[in-house]
């Protein structure tokens, strides 16, 4: 009884592990785009933190400034800038990898991305659109009538209040 080989049949072990590593390194382009989006969000967040730190820093206008506080804020600022630089490098790598993955694809003209309706189907769709338009017009007309009635009721109520107040002020 023999044990099965660890590598593929007829392949040396080093070649087999190399193809596995290459397959593991191949990343879906959509996943790369998601990673790029998250990286951009991180960049925006870090930039906002940097501006917050800069806004809170005092300018040395002849005022004594504690060197410990200054050094602490300067260290934080330098750390944020270093992390921002790393995030931009990461974004550049993701961008290059996406371009590399999409390099073999033929660009699709924008006109082909717009769905085209055949002549036979367009007549049917026109009838459907006409009925939807008619329904929407009727609904709008009904809403306008209801609003008109409400406005008239409000005017009548306000007039009645005004008459009542006038009669009360006169003594009726």
Q: pLDDT, tens digit, for every residue of 116-129?
A: 776 555 555 556 77
What radius of gyration do the chain's Cα atoms show?
Answer: 36
Of residues 62 and 146, more confidently modeled: 146
**% of the chain exceeding 70 in pLDDT:** 68
Mean pLDDT, the chain, rounded, equals 76
Q: For the chain, which residues make up each domain, given as ranges? A: 26-104, 135-171
The predicted structure's pLDDT at residue 152: 81
| pLDDT band of 140, cuts 50, 70, 90 | confident
CA gap 70, 76 in Å, rounded: 10
Determine contact, residues 16/7, Cβ cutoff 8 Å. yes
Say whether pLDDT at 137 is over 70.
yes
CA gap 46, 52 in Å, rounded: 10
The predicted structure's pLDDT at residue 34: 92
Token output for 57: 């820093």
Determine contact, residues 43/88, Cβ cutoff 8 Å. yes
């Amino acid at each position: 009884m023999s044990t099965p080989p660890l590598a593929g049949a007829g392949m040396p072990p080093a070649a087999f592990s190399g193809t596995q590593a290459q397959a593991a390194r191949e990343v879906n382009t959509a996943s790369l785009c998601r990673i790029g989006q998250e990286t951009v969000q991180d960049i925006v967040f870090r930039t906002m933190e940097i501006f917050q730190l800069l806004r809170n820093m005092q300018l040395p206008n002849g005022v004594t400034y504690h060197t410990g506080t200054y050094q602490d804020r300067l260290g934080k600022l330098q750390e944020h800038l270093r992390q921002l630089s790393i995030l931009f490098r990461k974004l550049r790598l993701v961008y290059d990898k996406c371009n590399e993955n999409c390099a073999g694809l033929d660009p699709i003209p924008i006109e082909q991305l717009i769905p085209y309706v055949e002549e036979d189907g367009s007549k049917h769709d026109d009838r459907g659109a006409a009925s939807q338009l008619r329904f929407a017009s009727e609904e709008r007309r009904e809403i306008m009538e209801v609003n008109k009635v409400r406005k008239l009721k409000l005017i009548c109520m306000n007039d009645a209040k005004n008459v009542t107040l006038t009669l009360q002020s006169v003594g009726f």
